[in-house]
Amino acid sequence: MDFKFTQQPLEKIPVDLVFATSFEKEGLRGPDGGIVFDKYLDGNLSRLMQDQNFEGKEGEILCVPTFQKIKPKYVLVAGLGPQKDFSAESIRRLGGRICQEANRLRARSAGGILETGGIKGVPPEARLRAFVEGCGLAAYQFIRFKTKEDKKKKNTLQTVWFYGRGKTARLQKASEEAQAIVGGVELARDLTNLPPNHLTPSVLGRQALALAKKHKNISVTVLGAAEILKQKMGALLAVAQGSATPPAFIHLKYNPSGKPKTKVALIGKGITFDSGGLNIKTREQELMKMDMAGAAAVLGAFDALARVQPKVAVEGFIPAAENMPAGNAYRPSDILTTRSGKTVEIVNTDAEGRLALADALDFACESKPTYMIDMATLTGGTAYAVGELVTSVLGNDKRLTARLLAAGKKAGEPAWELPIVQDYKKGYLKGPADLKNSGSGTKASTISGALFLEEFVQNNKWVHMDIASTAWADEPTSYHPMVGATGTPVRTLIYFLMDL
Ligand SMILES: [Zn+2]
């Protein structure tokens, strides 16, 4: 999709639709053209709003044909909700709804007025950025496996015009950064939506290599099974050993221009399919293609990073494997030696993500990062703790955690900090090995998952994001148009890295 700027009044250019907004119970507005469009339509816009009880609630949308009174074919009025609740997220959602409505109308182009000045403290660049994000994200489709033409119905919206004056260089930059973020989220969604027969650990590795080919400032190394063995990643190998498809370990580097002071390590869980292993899952196995959503977020973030180009060094680490039951699969009671040298007794083969991550975190420590951030679909418990719209965040450094939470808020990806209660670790220490991989003795599985990971981060500042409930959406929303992968937390990561 293209986002362009124009100095021509929208009513005079042949776009398929123009849009205006209304706060709840406040009617049409002047600055975004609503009142002018109403005049051109002889007051029919406000009349229809009244007839149809349009109140301007968030999500409300009214579509009015113009019958050639002006060049655009339709005027859309979208509700923004109460003015007191307005934020960049209101505009992100607006962008999503305009995109979905435009595609429903089979419109190829749309236009809106970019108001100068702030609205409730949100400046034009931030609003433009949010709109482009919402609109771009709402255009996401996953139709590559549909074979019939009618089911392959492609989106029609191709161009969005913004009318307005102002510093276009800054606006242009905001729009380009937002489009880069959308591209990264799309990649993460695509990879997560792909089924495990199409996305194995080695395919994930090839996807990473493709990123290095696409962007000059990214380099990638992919380790195969033999090299993983050389690295003594005993935990990752154990998880993979019951599968006919070999594991891969992906190491990405983003090299910024200049000499950055900060280095961030991003570590993403890449279990391309999780059957549970011998502790086989008895429900929702069909969703377990999404157990690599953390890895997908790392790759998506790198794709966006290469274009946004923040002045920070970033390395990515992805342990990729498939967890399957088989005659040679790892067993409950097996004792593994992790890369760090610590031994782990297997209590539950379905707690495999933390094993793969243990080796990846240990490897990542060697890059001497300023901050470590891991993201993983780690525990079902996070859905009970904070639900399906909020990511659980746990870490060992208050400032880092606060910064990540702030980035999530800005990005429209809510997150909430849970406490790392060290007492819950006792259960892990009771067996014959240094640690057990499950059975901490607490019901707070999200906290105990983080406690296990913390064992492998050495003295680094680290934060863990449990995205088990947020990486996948069971219901479409304004800028996530379908059931499936959301691409969380790519946006949070980019906002975090841009603000460092
Ligand atoms: Zn599992």
Q: Where are the beta strands (DSSP E) in 247-368?
A: 248-254, 263-268, 270-274, 313-323, 335-337, 343-345
| pLDDT tens-digit map of 48-106 | 999 999 999 999 999 999 999 999 999 999 999 999 999 999 999 999 999 999 999 99
230 noted as active-site residue: no
Is the bond preceding 489 in cis, omega lying within 30 degrees of 0?
Answer: yes
Q: How far is the CA of 379 from the centre of ligand 1 (A)?
A: 8
Closest listed residue to residue 349, CA positions, set 427, 270, 235, 428? 235
Q: How far is the CA of 290 from the centre of ligand 1 (A)?
A: 11
Q: How far is the CA of 298 from the centre of ligand 1 (A)?
A: 20
| pLDDT tens-digit map of 224-251 | 999 999 999 999 999 999 999 999 999 9
* Tally of CB atoms within 10 A around 257: 8
**Strand pairing partners for 78?**
21, 61
Q: Which two tokens stand for residue 321?
A: 């494997």
Q: How far is the CA of 165 from the centre of ligand 1 (A)?
A: 53
- Could you say which DSSP state residue 245 is in? S
Domain 2-166 top-level CATH class: alpha beta
Q: How high is the pLDDT of residue 82? A: 97
Q: How high is the pLDDT of residue 450? A: 98
| pLDDT tens-digit map of 117-168 | 899 999 999 999 999 999 999 999 999 998 887 766 889 999 999 998 766 8
Q: How far is the CA of 305 from the centre of ligand 1 (A)?
A: 30
Q: How high is the pLDDT of residue 194? A: 98
Q: How far is the CA of 271 from the centre of ligand 1 (A)?
A: 8
Q: How high is the pLDDT of residue 204? A: 98
Q: What is the pLDDT of the chain when averaged over all its residues?
A: 96
Residue 360 CA to residue 30 CA, distance in Å, equals 55
Where along the chain do its domains lie?
2-166, 179-498
Whole-number Cα distances in Å, 249 to 14, 112, 264, 372, 455: 51, 46, 18, 17, 20
Provide the residue type at 297 as one letter: A
188-220 b/e with 16+ CB inside 10 Å = b? bbbbbbbebeebbbbbbbebbbebbeebeebeb
146 noted as active-site residue: no
Residue 378 CA to residue 292 CA, distance in Å, equals 10
Q: How high is the pLDDT of residue 153? A: 82
Closest listed residue to residue 157, CA positions, set 143, 139, 177? 139
Supply the CATH classification number for the domain 179-498: 3.40.630.10
Q: How far is the CA of 162 from the centre of ligand 1 (A)?
A: 47
Q: How high is the pLDDT of residue 166? A: 66
Q: How high is the pLDDT of residue 148? A: 84
**Strand pairing partners for 17?**
74, 110
Catalytic residue among 57, 73, 232, 281: 281
| pLDDT tens-digit map of 408-453 | 999 999 999 999 999 999 999 999 999 999 989 899 999 999 999 9
Say what the pTM is: 0.97
Q: What is the mean pLDDT of residues 467-491?
A: 96
Catalytic residue among 269, 354, 436, 491: 354
Q: How far is the CA of 293 from the centre of ligand 1 (A)?
A: 13
Lowest mean pLDDT among 5-14, 232-241, 366-375, 468-477: 5-14
Q: How far is the CA of 365 from the centre of ligand 1 (A)?
A: 24
**pLDDT interval class at 313 (50, 70, 90):** very high
Lowest mean pLDDT among 167-176, 197-206, 351-360: 167-176
Q: How high is the pLDDT of residue 151? A: 63
